[in-house]
Amino acid sequence: MESDTNTLTSSPTFSHSSNTPSSSPPQVVMSPCAACKILRRRCVEKCVLAPYFPPTEPAKFTTAHRVFGASNIIKFLQELPESQRADAVASMVYEAGARIRDPVYGCAGAICQLQKQVNELQAQLAKAQAEVVNMQFQQANLVTLICMEMSQTPQESPQQSTDNFITSPSHSSGYQNNLNFFEDNTNLNSLWEPLWT
């Protein structure tokens, strides 16, 4: 009987403990930033490099570290306000990548190449604009010439065209020749009339 009571009293306690959630929060394991991971040091809570070199982008810090060095990067970031640090990191990474690609000129070489392309495109644009202006000038001259010719030679009416056709020297001489031929035929007929009678 005593063992039954112990079983009854212990079972609610077991069920109560299984239903209650654990009061301790789950522990979140923070991975070190890419800079501390590459440098093999412990990443502290207020690491200067952690916000700008996340653990998912190790190549970003590797590139900057090869050119500037970790100590210089930390020094640069500590001297700047937090609002400018992200832009400074982006500039250092870009400059480091350009310096690795072109050890002699670095970022200046890329800038010179882009400036050369801009100058070439500006020259092509100026040439195209000059050709457009020249074509517009030629078109304006052609329109002016056509208008002048149309104003100098007005269209004639049909009656004027007929009068000009009749009074022209070639057509008047042809008409006179036809009249002369008709008169000659009349004279010949008058000569042949006595022979038939």
Taking only the tens place, the pLDDT of each residue in 123-142 is: 999 999 999 999 999 999 99
pLDDT of residue 162: 57
Domain boundary among 101, 126, 144: 101
The answer to whether residue 17 sits within a structural domain is: no
Query: Last residue of a domain, which of 80, 101, 122?
Result: 101
Q: What is the pLDDT of residue 31?
A: 80
Q: How many domains does the chain have?
A: 2
Which residues are CB-neighbours of 35 under 8 A, at least 6 positions away?
47, 49, 50, 53, 61, 65, 70, 73
To 10 degrees, what angle do helices 82-101 and 58-67 make? Answer: 70
Domain that holds residue 69: 34-101
- Taking only the tens place, the pLDDT of each residue in 149-166 is 888 875 555 555 556 555
Question: Is there a domain that residue 46 lies in?
Answer: yes
Q: Is the full-model pTM beyond 0.85?
A: no
- Chain-centroid distance of CA 37 in Å reads 42
CB-based contacts of 106: which residues, under 8 Å, 6+ apart?
95, 98, 99
Q: Is the pLDDT of residue 192 over 80?
A: no
Residues 130 and 83 in one domain: no
Distance of CA 71 to the CA centre of its chain: 42
More confident residue, 172 or 147: 147
pLDDT at 24: 47
The HSE-up count of residue 88 (CA atoms within 13 Å, CB side) is: 18
Cα–Cα distance measured from residue 12 to residue 6, given in angstroms and rounded to the nearest whole number: 11
